[in-house]
Amino acid sequence: MVEERTELQFERRASLRAFNSFGLPAVAAALVRLRSEADVKRVVDHPEFGPAKKLILSGGSNLVLTRDVAAVVLKVEILGRRLLRETPEAFIVEAGAGENWHDFVAWTLQQGWPGLENLGLIPGLVGAAPVQNIGAYGVELKDRFDSLDGVDLVTGRSVTLEAAQCAFGYRDSVFKHLLAGKTLITRVRFRLPRPWAPVLGYLDLQRRVHDTGNAHPDAQTIFDWICAIRRAKLPDPLQIGNAGSFFKNPVVSAEQCRDIIGRDPSVVHYPMPDGSAKLAAGWLIDACGWKGKSIGRAGVYERQALVLVNRGGAIGAEVLTLARAIQESVYGRFGIRLEPEPVIL
């Protein structure tokens, strides 16, 4: 039998380079590894770490480190995954916040619980998925979310939050605002609806349907398509440091959209239900000529202009300089302020 650890495991002056997908150098004053909910409570009760400022670190795949971190870094490593309930309407599946997201999605499919296939190959861990309401190819986390457990980092109390309390928006949630740095997510539950229905609306998926002649792909096939599509246009962080899309796709009013179409009729835009329009930030950046360009050791990925990459040995300041230069040129040409998507520290 494995005995439960009762001592907190931590390291002082810990390098964070291996723990952020951009591969940026930074040192944390202290790094605490959390393998259970009990560990989180131990941090809260700890004489030194309890009152200290804290930074919750998940997979580090949505993070730009521009300096050393004075806060205590809480590295979430809580594992475990299981089917909680099966009803005629849904499978309710639970995963520890430290589980790898992609492996979790692949596992749900192997078990015969489809629903997360469009979210395959998104880097990061399960616990970060609700924080930014990850989304891809027509599905957002909130569409498959049931509830989550966390620990209040001030009181040490366990909390359970339902969808409405998480205030999910486009790449947004309460964990980026009111509860930022305050609630550490320990477990997430997913509601995978039955009967399963494929989501094939995205152009890239429509193309696959057309090219393969398979109009009724099963969930595993969609998952394989998604992985292939992502591999073709997004760099693997293990080979080229990056944090996925660096900017959010901006939402503009119908009037602004008309103005931009007036300037450039080919602008990629998607009408939203409320009359506004979402513009493809990647297109705007590309149109300004940034694709493949670099400033210092930070660059714009050759196959997707929305992704900034570490060309080798970059520091956070170089990534920020590049990001600001891109923001300025997109603003100059289209009058749109691009908002960064990752957390910048």
Binding span for ligand EPU by CB under 6 A among 21-29, 149-157, 282-290, 319-327: 282-290
Whether 245 sits among the annotated catalytic residues: the reply is yes
CB-based contact 289:325 (threshold 8 Å):
no
Rounded Cα distance between 180 and 93, Å, is 25
Rounded Cα distance between 2 and 142, Å, is 36
The nearest distance, CB 3 to ligand EPU, in angstroms, is 40
Whether 303 sits among the annotated catalytic residues: the reply is no
Which of the following is catalytic: 171, 187, 189, 230? 171
Sign of CA dihedral 183, 66, 58, 1: negative
Q: Which is nearer to ligand EPU, 224 or 286 (CB)?
A: 286
Binding to ligand EPU in span 232-251, by CB under 6 A: 233, 244-245, 248-249
Whether 208 sits among the annotated catalytic residues: the reply is no
Binding of residue 77 to ligand EPU (CB under 6 A)? no
The nearest distance, CB 134 to ligand EPU, in angstroms, is 7
SS3 category, 159: strand
Binding of residue 223 to ligand EPU (CB under 6 A)? no
Binding of residue 183 to ligand EPU (CB under 6 A)? no
Rounded Cα distance between 119 and 133, Å, is 11
* Position among 83, 267, 280, 317 found at the interface with ligand EPU (CB under 6 A): 280
- Residue 120 CB: number of other CB atoms within 10 A? 24
Structure tokens at 145: 């979310």
Instruction: With CA atoms as reference, report the closest residue to 93 among 134, 145, 51.
Output: 145
What is the C-alpha end-to-end distance of the chain, expressed in Å?
41
* Position among 63, 74, 151, 306 found at the interface with ligand EPU (CB under 6 A): 306
Chain residues that interact with ligand EPU, rule: CB under 6 A: 136-137, 233, 244-245, 248-249, 268, 280, 282-283, 286, 291, 304-306, 341
